[in-house]
Amino acid sequence: MDTNGATTSSTAGGGSTSKSSSKKHSRKPVYSRFTQQELPACKPILTPGLVIATFTIIGIIFIPLGLVSLSASEKVVEIVDRYDESCVPSNYSNDKLKFIQNPSINKSCVRTLTVPKLMKSPVFIYYQLDNYYQNHRRYVKSRSDKQLRSVSDEKSTKDCSPEDKTVDGPIVPCGLVAWSLFNDTYWFSVNTKTIEVNKHDIAWKSDKEHKFGSNVYPKNFQSGGLIGGAKLNSSVPLSKQEDLMVWMRTAALPTFRKLYGKIEQDLQANEKIQVVIQNNYNTYSFSGKKKLVLSTTSWIGGKNDFLGIAYIIVGGLCLFLAVCFILLYVIKPR
């Protein structure tokens, strides 16, 4: 009797130990409504009425928005003049690269632009480059933001090769982006009267205040054997060199425009603008194109028909689908 009782007690104790051990090593997650996916959820039922109403509302909103955007874009007056081929003398038409690389040849040329409609000030001046890949990985990385911000980081040029230093010391600003700075220039006149070009406040405020130091000055820039683009005034800090700031904000696409300056006077309809262009920048080696752009702006910015057309197409498509669903619902109801 006693032996059997002891055995039974021992067995019961072993079972209890086994259960506690099983609980201790259990892989079962702690219960929560989140892990068990028991949280409240919205599951809309797409009834024919809801679908038709949604498409109709989107169409009614988008089509007027598209028409308003197109109207604003049409009010923008824009003059675009491609000059890279016209500014090459006829005797160099078959060897443009030789022309642009010869420093002894006069690179100036005169273009005449006709104002199609009244252009109210300010009239923005842009230069446009085509087939120019500023987004190339090696090109974009060839710069030193630390060096641009602080004079104490003047020697931070590890990413700037081959335009990192000269025999006289580090290049400031270093890198291929700064080295290739655009250097064509434009002078404007109407009836022999010079039109002033305002080149202030053409760069982003954040660039002037935070990205380019007021105590950083150009040093050993464009002093090597191969000149890439424009030179910089070594007595002016980088925070005042707005042409450089505009250029250093690299473009995402191979065709882009950058702000050159502003004309702060109205240009009358049918006026003839004489533009003297100094055609210095080499785009001929990679089949690039150069264009001069004069443009006004509206509340949506410059001339851009894409936004308005996109709104109209999406709105029209939604209305078309709404009509199709209405017909389907009438002809073949559930």
Q: In this structure, is residue 18 part of a structural domain? A: no
Instruction: Calculate mean pLDDT across residues 249-275.
Output: 95
What domain count does the chain have?
2
- pLDDT of 15 above 70: no
Question: Where do runs of H (alpha helix) occur along 25-141?
Answer: 48-74, 96-101, 137-141
Q: Provide the mean pLDDT of the chain.
A: 89
What pLDDT sits at residue 250?
95
Domain annotation covers residue 212: yes
Same domain (yes/no): 267, 313: no
Residues 136 and 254 in one domain: yes
Q: For residue 51, which phi and psi values (nearest 5 degrees)? A: -65, -45
Instruction: Examine the domain organization and report whether 126 and 143 are in the same domain.
Output: yes
Kindly tell me if the per-residue pLDDT of 1 is higher than 50.
no
Give the separation between CA 313 and CA 78, rounded to whole angstroms.
Answer: 25
Write out pLDDT tens, residues 268-303: 999 999 999 999 999 999 999 999 999 999 998 889
Instruction: Give yes or no for residue 313 having a pLDDT over 90.
Output: yes
Assess whether 117 and 149 both reside in one domain. Answer: yes
Whether 110 and 151 share a structural domain? yes
Q: Which of 69-83, 134-148, 250-264, 320-334 has the lowest mean pLDDT?
A: 320-334
What confidence score (pLDDT) does residue 32 get? 85
Alpha-carbon radius of gyration of the chain: 34
Rounded to an integer, what distance in angstroms lies between the CA atom of residue 272 and that of residue 115?
7
Residue 228 and residue 84 in one domain = yes
CB atoms within 10 A of CB 200: 9
**pLDDT band of 6, cuts 50, 70, 90:** very low
Q: Give the pTM.
A: 0.81
pLDDT for 43: 81
Q: Two tokens at 221?
A: 């820039």
User: Which range, of 36-45, 67-76, 130-139, averages the lowest pLDDT?
Assistant: 36-45
- Which domain does 251 fall in, by range? 78-293
Higher-scoring residue by pLDDT: 192, 126: 126
Q: How confident is the model at residue 22 (pLDDT cuts 50, 70, 90)?
A: low
- Give pLDDT, residue 292: 97
The model's pLDDT over 192-224, given as tens digits with 9 standing for 90+, comes to: 899 999 999 999 999 999 999 999 999 999 887
pLDDT of 215 reads 92
Distances (CA, A) of 39 to 29, 30, 32, 36: 17, 16, 9, 8
Same domain, yes or no: 257 and 306: no
For residues 132-140, give the mean pLDDT.
Answer: 94
Q: What percent of the chain has pLDDT over 90?
A: 71
pLDDT of residue 186: 97
Q: Are 245 and 327 contained in the same domain?
A: no
Instruction: Please check whether residues 309 and 280 belong to one and the same domain.
Output: no
CA 198, CA 200: separation in Å to the nearest integer? Answer: 6
DSSP class per residue in 15-50: HHHHHHHHHHT--PPPP-TTTTT-S--------HHH
Could you tell me which residue, 50 or 27, shows the higher pLDDT?
50
Q: What are 238's two structure tokens?
A: 């980088």
